[in-house]
Amino acid sequence: MSNMTGMDIFLKKEFLHHTGSFKERGARYTLLMLPEQQRNRGVITASAGNHALALSYHGHGLGIPVTVVMPIVAPLMKVQLCRSNGANVIVKGQHIGECKEIALHIAKDTGQVYINGYDHPHILAGQGTMGLEIVEDIPNIDAVVIPVGGGGLIAGTALAIKSLLPEVTIIGVEPERCPSFSAALKAGKPVKVPVSSTLADGLSVPMVGVNAFATAQPLIDKMITVTEEMVAIAILRLIELEKVVVEGAGAAALAAILAGQLPELKGKRVVVPLCGGNIDTTILGRCLERGLAADGRLVKYTVTVSDRPGGIAELTKLIASLGVSIKDIIHERAWLQTDIFSVEVKVVCETRGRDHTAELETALMAQYSRVKIG
């Protein structure tokens, strides 16, 4: 990864925690700080998954009842894992903002303590231990690039790092489909933003935490957003080069680097937290395909060929002669508006990269008069 980016990259593998994310840091510390009476009543939270997993796991270990409200778009794997850890899981709400409102109403009725997964002061303090480990483990750090959702991780981590090494650059990264922290910086306070579905579902928070924003705002040197395509490519690169599987939120920081959005870090020593590894296998498959497509290695063509015997065979022979692998192929006649002796063939191919793809396109254009790309 360092050779590819031109930076000295240090990956902080937070997905190796028992529940697969950094959220365990804040969850356990917050539970340990509860008074005895509140421990008996239990706690409740709203979470898209990782905070819920961490809280349910450590709540079970400490004997503290946990209720979790999760959005309907939460990954199925995370929902099931929370239940297996003994949590009372309520799947309701379109996004984390609606889940929070539901959880607060339940907390008022039951007397449970509501624990905000990205804004409770003890949560921020717990997440800050990642910053302490970074400073302790890696000498001469130039920058840390941190994924941002509700702001808890970057707030705690930035405070820990800047307190010890104020010269270190702190950069936040969030998905362009939910730029809540960027909006807060522009407005000077947390504001709600529209939420769209994103591969980085763990970062899909419509409004950043008040405490997190107040803590992080003076410490963040740069804030950027990344596209869905680059998140998919980052997941793909991590599997291919580092042999690790992370979720979209965990790959967001690396996505910004791979997209070339941080050229000022060339030649620098850069820490990139891979903050979560809980991704549904079905979503992982889609991410890999999306990554291959964005990388120019999975391409789609529609070619009109002769419907006489051997017409389609000639097309597949041409593709094979270039060393291109056919992943899918279908043909249709009924909706073709050219001559009756032609057939439209749709082909999905896997190539070695953009140069190989360009070679295939040139060969197809030379052989056939009607070729549609994409």
Q: DSSP letter at 370? A: -
Instruction: Please give the Cα distance from 124 to 27 (Å, whole number).
Output: 10
Name residue, tokens 């820490």. 271
pLDDT of residue 74: 80
Query: Residue 134 in contact with residue 113, Cβ under 8 Å?
Result: no
- Listed residue (55, 59, 52) closest to 96, CA to CA: 52
Contact present, 333 and 307 (Cβ < 8 Å): yes
**Residue 89 contacts residue 44 (beta carbons within 8 Å):** no
Average pLDDT score over residue span 191-214: 91
H, E, C per residue of 35-97: CHHHHHHCEEEECCCHHHHHHHHHHHHHCCCEEEEECCCCCHHHHHHHHHCCCEEEECCCCHH
Q: Give the pLDDT score at 165.
A: 98
Mean pLDDT, the chain, integer:
93
Give the model's confidence band at 97: pLDDT under 50 very low, under 70 low, under 90 confident, else very high. Answer: confident
Q: Give the predicted TM-score (pTM) of the model.
A: 0.87
Judged against a pLDDT cut of 80, whether residue 75 lies above it is answered with: no
Query: CA separation (Å) from 141 to 168, 169, 266, 271, 364?
Result: 6, 9, 13, 7, 50
**Does the pLDDT value for residue 334 go beyond 80?**
no
Could you tell me if residue 14 is left (phi over 0), alpha (psi between -120 and 50 degrees) or otherwise beta?
A: alpha
* Average pLDDT value for residue range 290-317: 91
Q: Measured between alpha carbons, how far is residue 305 from residues 329, 332, 345, 346, 373 in Å?
A: 13, 11, 7, 11, 15
Query: In terms of DSSP bridges, do strands 298-306 and 371-373 run parallel, antiparallel, or are they unpaired?
Result: antiparallel
77-96 pLDDT, tens digit per residue, is 778 889 999 999 999 998 77
CB atoms inside a 10 Å sphere around CB 296: 15
| pLDDT tens digits, 145-155 | 999 999 999 99
Question: Does the pLDDT value for residue 323 go beyond 90?
Answer: yes
Q: Is 270 helix (H, G, I), strand (E, B) or coil?
A: strand
**For the chain, what's the residue count?**
374
